[in-house]
Amino acid sequence: ETLAILIELFIERATQWSEVIHTISCLDVLRSFAIAASLSAGSMARPVIFPESKNTDQNQETKGPILKIQGLWHPFAVAAD
């Protein structure tokens, strides 16, 4: 009976619990990024995402946001060397 009551209370607040779970997941990822950055042997930078391209070309691949990455490396690949 107690378990049924707990399940009912949980279901009543499913939306709120979903938001809590999402927030904790985001914090976990950000914490992991911070730890990886602090322990890395190289410099870290945030990616720059440019606004939508104003290209008049009909090719769909050239439209939309663009992510340009220079000097990309993976911290765990470097640590393995």
| pLDDT of amino acid 71 | 77
Distances (CA, A) of 54 to 1, 18, 61, 64, 65: 62, 38, 13, 9, 10
Cβ contacts of 73 within 8 Å, gap of 6 or more: 42
| Residue 40 structure tokens | 């890395």
| pLDDT of amino acid 60 | 56
CA distance 46 to 64: 20
Q: Which segments in the chain show pLDDT lower than 70?
A: 47-50, 52-67, 75-76, 78-81
**Which tens digit of pLDDT belongs to each residue from 6-26?**
999 999 999 999 999 999 999
Whole-structure pTM value: 0.53
| pLDDT of amino acid 8 | 96
| pLDDT of amino acid 72 | 78
CA distance 52 to 54: 6
Closest CA to 44 of 54, 34, 57: 34
